[in-house]
């Protein structure tokens, strides 16, 4: 049987630095677990703009649609801040999400025991934390029309439109309920139905999907502003949170910090299952290109490596191997390996991106 295919789009800033460590892990699985992938590399974001004048070349888009899974590093950076909006690095990422129809973005926030002291919250609030934010990723205010900057009288007006159809809400709600059944069986849906019609529709549709097909799952609704407050007041009350594109973007950065560092959080963006039962999928860390530390070998590669673990689980039916990788990471953290972003109150000497990769590979070897 042919090997599964992976398209790697490392992108900009720390993207290529953290992705280098993922490539070492992929090679390890080929060598030690007889789990080989056919890997192809291509450009996205500023790197693609520099070469092609566009943040995502059509050929790359076509390859992404063909691949069994896409792994993405990060896009963007100050070098590209003044580019025309239509060719900004971030547009490349948004095009991938939209054209691959990756409507369900899973952003887990799990607190590793060894890092419970590093959270900006008290240890007892985050120890054992395991929540999953399901962010709608292909619609809402990120894509709604009309949009643009227009002349209106003697001034300009900037317009974006929050827009959700029933079917868009329905399908992301289903993915959240399905996930909840395999976890703590609880879903909290967040919107602002108190001020937004799209929020009223969101709440209605989520409730209907629940009542018709998932009555066994515990469902609650919360206004997203209260949700943000509850996430920092008492995050362990949540199991699965389902929310729209923009609220999900903000709430997931907030949840990331609960776990100690943005450098720890992976994500999976999934579409509808294809003929072989697997969804179209792209895996990427939640963090960005971190221009402030790019090129210094300081970045934490764990978010990107955990994103590959999610690929093993969701695209390749290798749940046991995903757990092996997650356990290896847990072990190196318990043993005290820390990149600079994980320097807690007790201080210490940070290790480099590559040294973190070394430690995880060693722990993988030890797991055999």
Please state the residue numbers annotated as binding site for NAD(+). Answer: 77-90, 288-300
Choose, by CB under 5 A, the member of 42, 191, 249, 284 that binds Mn ion.
249
Site membership for Mn ion, residue 191 (CB under 5 A): no
Q: Decide which of ligand IPM, Mn ion, ligand NAD, none touches 94; Cβ closer than 5 to 8 Å per partner kind.
A: ligand IPM
Q: Contact between 249 and ligand IPM (CB under 6 A)? A: yes
Q: Binding of ligand IPM at residue 93 (CB under 6 A)?
A: yes
For residue 27, indicate whether it is catalytic.
Answer: no
Which residue is catalytic, options 42, 49, 68, 142? Answer: 142
| Local structure of residue 116 (DSSP, 8 states) | G
136 or 249, CB closer to Mn ion?
Answer: 249
Using CB under 5 A as the binding criterion, the count of chain residues that bind Mn ion stands at: 1
Of 11-19, 82-90, 122-130, 245-253, which segment contacts Mn ion by CB under 5 A? 245-253
Gap between the Cα atoms of 23 and 18, Å rounded: 9
Q: How far is the CB of 31 from ligand NAD (least distance, A)?
A: 26
d(CA 72, CA 343): 26
Cβ neighbours of residue 233 under 8 Å, at least 6 residues apart? none
In the annotation, is 253 catalytic? yes
- Report how far apart, in Å, the C-alpha atoms of 337 and of each of 126, 259, 330, 363 are: 20, 16, 10, 11
Distance between CA atoms of 99 and 101, rounded to whole angstroms?
5
Exposed/middle/buried for residue 100 (C-beta within 10 Å: 0-12, 13-18, 19+): buried
Nearer of residues 12 and 68 to ligand NAD, judged by Cβ = 12
Q: Which of 31, 38, 113, 225 is catalytic?
A: 225
C-beta closer to ligand IPM: residue 287 or 338: 287
What, of Mn ion, ligand IPM, ligand NAD, none, does residue 180 touch, CB below 5 to 8 Å by kind?
Answer: none
CA distance 268 to 71: 9
DSSP 268-307: EEEEEE-TTSPEEEEEEESS---TTTTTTT----HHHHHH
Write out the two tokens for 214. 């998932």
Q: Is 225 a catalytic residue?
A: yes
Binding site for ligand IPM (CB under 6 A): 76, 90, 93-94, 249, 286, 288
- Which residues belong to the active site? 142, 192, 225, 249, 253
């Amino acid at each position: 049987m042919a090997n599964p295919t992976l398209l790697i789009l490392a992108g900009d800033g720390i993207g290529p630095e953290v992705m280098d460590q993922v490539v070492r892990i992929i090679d390890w699985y080929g060598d030690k677990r007889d789990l080989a992938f056919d890997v192809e590399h291509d450009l996205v974001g500023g790197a693609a703009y520099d070469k092609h004048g566009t943040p995502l070349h059509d050929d790359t888009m076509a390859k992404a649609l063909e691949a069994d899974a896409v792994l993405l590093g990060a896009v963007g950076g100050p070098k590209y801040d003044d580019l025309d909006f239509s060719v900004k690095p971030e547009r490349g990422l948004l095009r991938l999400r939209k054209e691959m129809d990756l409507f369900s973005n899973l952003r887990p926030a799990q607190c590793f025991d060894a890092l419970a002291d590093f959270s900006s919250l008290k240890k007892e609030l985050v120890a054992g934390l395991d929540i999953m934010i399901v962010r709608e990723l292909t619609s809402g205010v990120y894509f709604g029309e009309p949009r643009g900057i227009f002349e209106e009288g003697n001034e300009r007006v900037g317009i974006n439109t929050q827009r959700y159809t029933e079917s868009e809400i329905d399908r992301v709600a289903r993915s959240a309920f399905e996930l909840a059944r395999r976890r703590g069986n609880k879903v909290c849906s967040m919107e602002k139905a108190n001020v937004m019609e799209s929020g009223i529709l969101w709440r209605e549709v989520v409730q209907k999907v629940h009542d018709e097909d998932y009555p066994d799952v515990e469902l609650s609704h919360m206004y997203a502003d209260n949700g943000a407050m509850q996430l920092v007041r008492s995050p362990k009350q949540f199991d699965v949170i389902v929310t729209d594109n923009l609220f999900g973007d903000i709430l997931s950065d907030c949840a990331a910090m609960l776990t100690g560092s943005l450098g720890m959080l992976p994500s999976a963006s999934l579409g509808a299952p294809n003929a072989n039962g697997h969804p179209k999928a792209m895996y990427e860390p939640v963090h960005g290109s971190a221009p402030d530390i790019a090129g210094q070998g300081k970045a934490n590669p764990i978010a990107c490596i955990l994103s590959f673990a999610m690929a093993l689980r969701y695209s390749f039916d290798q749940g046991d191997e995903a757990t092996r990788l997650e356990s290896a990471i847990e072990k190196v953290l318990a043993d005290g390996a820390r990149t600079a972003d994980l320097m807690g109150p007790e201080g210490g000497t940070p290790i480099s991106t590559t040294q973190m990769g070394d430690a995880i590979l060693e722990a993988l070897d030890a797991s055999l």
